[in-house]
């Protein structure tokens, strides 16, 4: 989907279409404040000059996404909002409406399934689709079906998407970025040298910043230069599995199937503070934030129908160093009190002498509740028990030795 979070917001505020805007920052209070300041006008009639600007933003927020007009200034996803303010101070700031985003995510995916039933969910705004056995899926190299999907999604959501059609998932993912927004790109095996090899190595999904930095130190900047390396050289420098995979990826080879029934590996909740917090001096504030994250994570697990066997934490200190710890339990849980207790135990295993910039809680080793329900020993908590557990978890704020 094209700038998905931003595009969903522009449905609410069509007067901002074509303007630089970023999604991120604080909680959703903007609608209420805008309405209060504009005498109860409908959101779509609020004048553009009434919206908050990035130049006035103060905090530690990170951009979720940006409109294409903002991207022209170098603003992009995962960028700190204060840094983005220097690049595009005139950009409008809007918060994320997760409920609305989830609604449109389900809608565009169900629209695709009506046309092409073999689909792999890749998160909130992205999917893989198998065109092989769809009627008309091979016409014009897949372009006809891609147009049909784009048209159906737009009619259902008023949102646009970009589609890459290729022999495998690796190349299709890359092709989907070629012609944004609302584009269709077709890549055949014969296009490897002309369309893929001139691209930077980072364009391969799976090569991150650290691997790319190492490749550049080795004098390898493009996918073509990566393809020219002997497998043994890449294995020597990146290890057996990663080196071999890099060589295959550079040659456009990917035999991964479409996985229609894939399960999530983990779920997490984290927050970046508006100011650095200290474990002792800001104990009460940190305790409340930590407990809230644990309870939100428990709600996520319960809503999506999973329990977790491993609970972990993530800290980012004021010097940007990161610490993580996790602990595995004998039995899986989605209980807020239990998650808070396990996360608190992990917290006691990390140094807390430095100020903290970020705090997060993670659940992994997920198991579907549906699968567990078939077992005779499994008993799911009643709603009143879950509420009682949440109240018990809140008591950790006052009793926990750390926070």
Q: Which residues are catalytic?
A: 126
Cα 287 to Cα 347: distance, rounded to the nearest angstrom: 11
DSSP-derived pairing of the beta strands 21-24 and 127-129: unpaired
Backbone angles phi, psi at 150, to 5 degrees: -60, -45
Q: Tell me the C-alpha to C-alpha distance, in Å, between residue 80 and each of 3, 124, 265, 286.
A: 17, 21, 27, 22
Residues 6+ apart with CB under 8 A from 133: 118
- In the structure encoding, which two tokens stand for residue 395, read together? 């008591």
Residue spans of beta strands (DSSP E) within 255-395: 266-277, 306-317, 322-333, 356-368
Cα 176 to Cα 163: distance, rounded to the nearest angstrom: 5
- In the structure encoding, which two tokens stand for residue 167, read together? 């022999």
Kindly write down the DSSP assignment for every residue of 121-181, as one continuous string. E-SSS-EEE--TTSTTTTGGGGHHHHHHHHHHHHHHHS----EEE-SSHHHHHHHTTTT-S
Which helix (DSSP H) or strand (DSSP E) does residue 92 occupy? strand 92-94
Residues 6+ apart with CB under 8 A from 78: 62, 63
3-state secondary structure of 308: strand
């Amino acid at each position: 989907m094209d700038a998905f979070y931003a595009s969903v917001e522009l449905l609410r505020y069509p007067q901002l279409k074509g303007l630089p805007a970023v999604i991120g920052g604080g909680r959703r209070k903007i609608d209420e404040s805008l309405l209060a300041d504009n005498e109860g006008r409908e959101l779509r009639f609020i004048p553009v000059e009434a919206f908050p600007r990035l130049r006035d933003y103060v905090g530690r927020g990170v951009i979720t996404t940006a409109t294409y007009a903002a991207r022209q200034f170098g603003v992009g996803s995962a960028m700190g909002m204060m840094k983005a303010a220097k690049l595009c101070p005139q950009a409008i700031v809007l918060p994320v409406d997760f409920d609305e985003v989830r609604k449109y995510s389900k809608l565009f995916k169900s629209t695709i399934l009506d046309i092409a039933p073999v689909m792999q969910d890749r998160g909130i705004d992205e999917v893989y689709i198998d065109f092989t056995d769809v009627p008309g899926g091979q016409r014009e190299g897949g372009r006809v079906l891609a147009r049909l999907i784009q048209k159906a999604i737009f009619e259902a959501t008023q949102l646009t998407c970009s589609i890459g059609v290729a022999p495998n998932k690796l190349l299709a993912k890359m092709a989907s970025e070629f012609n944004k927004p609302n584009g269709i790109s077709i890549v055949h095996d014969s296009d490897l040298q002309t369309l893929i090899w001139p691209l930077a190595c980072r364009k391969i999904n799976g090569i991150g910043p650290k691997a790319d930095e190492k490749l550049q130190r080795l004098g390898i900047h493009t996918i073509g230069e990566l393809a020219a390396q002997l497998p043994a050289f890449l294995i020597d420098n990146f290890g057996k599995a990663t080196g071999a995979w890099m060589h295959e990826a550079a040659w456009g080879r990917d035999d991964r199937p479409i996985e229609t029934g894939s399960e999530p590996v983990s779920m997490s909740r984290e927050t970046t503070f508006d100011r650095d917090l200290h474990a002792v001096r800001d104990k009460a504030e940190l305790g409340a934030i930590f407990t809230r994250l644990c309870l939100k994570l428990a709600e996520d697990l319960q809503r999506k129908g999973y329990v977790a066997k491993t609970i972990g934490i993530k800290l980012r200190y004021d010097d940007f160093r990161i610490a993580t710890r996790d602990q595995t339990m004998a039995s899986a849980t989605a209980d807020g009190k239990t998650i808070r207790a396990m996360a608190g135990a992990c917290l006691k295993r990390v140094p807390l002498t430095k100020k903290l910039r970020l705090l997060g809680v993670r659940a992994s080793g997920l198991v579907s509740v549906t699968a567990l329900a078939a077992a005779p020993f499994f008993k799911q908590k009643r709603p009143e028990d879950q509420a009682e557990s949440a109240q018990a978890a809140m008591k950790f704020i006052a009793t926990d030795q750390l926070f």
